[in-house]
Structure formats: structure tokens, C-alpha cells
Amino acid sequence: MIIGIIGAMVEEITPLLERLKHYESKNIGGNTYYEVKIGGHTIYIAYSKIGKVHAALTCSTMILHFQCEKIIFSGVAGGLSPDLHIGDLILGSKLCQYDVDITAFGHPLGFIPESRVFIESDETLNAIAHRVAQNQHINLKEGIIASGDLFIADSGKKQWIIQHFGASAVEMEGAAVAVVCDLLKVPFCILRSISDSADGKADVNFDEFLESSAKRSADFVMMMIDQILEKK
């Protein structure tokens, strides 16, 4: 089994590398991929850098170059839903791009021709996540995650995303990973820990809770990895 784990920032993959300890580094396309061997399995870990373009490149490299068979994204997000608080974990049931707008041609917001507004994550990986949460007594939420190349720190924009996409959380990479995996037929899941509330205080809260929220997501992903590899 070959699995790819992606974070957007170094803080989002550092807890994984600290836990796994032994890895080799491989540099491709201006990015570093950390290769970890566990038994007869291989895990590739990388932080893509922020934004949808970088996430798409990293995900494509993992699948097309390293032959990853499953992709997991681990990181932080802004909470849109009022029942999401800092430190909470959310699994993306569907991913969308809130900053795609060709409504001038009669298409709905977020729609790209020959694609669709919402891309569903993998049911099997999501079921593993829920099983881990149940075993660890973790309250794992699930909902739509909206992605765009903008850090949301404005209550008005936050409400706009909720209104048009029904999203529970917002970030800058997940939907790009979803598009790549969907087109290349690779199962994926997007796990996020809430670092802020995507409002006027988001920048302050993000800086304060980035590392702790990222670690919470990474720790959960490692428990998922244990479950996935146990079944192989």
C-alpha cells in the first residue's frame, strides 16, 4: 500500500514527521516529499504550500510520480458552522470551490464545465475516520468544506459562503485535492481541525491555534493510517 498525506504548511506535517522519525527526502518540482517505510508499506508526506495550485501540484505528483493509492489531507480550517469550535475536527463529505464564478454564462457558482460544484470524498476512508473517532471517543463532525485562494477573515464573506454552498468549514486547498483525486480515480479524504472562526478575529486566532489544531488533525490521521494498514 502506498499512501500520500498532504498538509498545506510545514506546521501541518511536522507532527507526522516527529512521530514517524525515520524518513528519506525526495525533491520534485520545488517541493520536498518525505518517504516513510512502515512494514511493507510506503507513506509519502509533503506540505504543498498554501493555495489550490500548490495543492493540486503536490497531489498530482504523489499520484502520478509516487503511485499513491490513497490521499489524505491533514490540516486546519476556519469554522463556518456555529457548532464548530477551535480544536474541533471535521471531515469533508463534499468539497467545493467557492471562488469559481462563471455565472455570467448561466452556470451556478463553483461550477466548472465537464465537472461539478461538489466532489464527494471517499466513503471507505470516511468510514475509517468515523471508526477511529468512535474508538477514541472523539466528536468528529462531517460537512461540506469550501476551498478558495483567500484567507477568510470577514463575517460578510463567511456568511456568503454559507449561503451559497452550505459549507461548514473553509480553507484553501481541499477542493483542489478533490478535483485531482476525482479525475485520477484515487480515493481521498480531507480532515481539518478548526483554528479560527473565519471572522474578523480569524487572523489572530489562526496564529494562536495553528500548531495545536494542526497537531490534533495529524494525530488523528496517524490513527487512520494504523487502521488502514492493519487491514492490508
Q: How many CB atoms lie within 10 A of CB 31?
A: 15
Set 11, 88, 122, 196: catalytic member:
196
> Is 182 an annotated catalytic residue?
no
Sequence-distant (≥ 6) Cβ neighbours of residue 157 within 8 angstroms: 150, 198
> Is 12 an annotated catalytic residue?
yes
Set 12, 88, 171, 199: catalytic member:
12
Looking at the annotation, which residues are catalytic? 12, 196
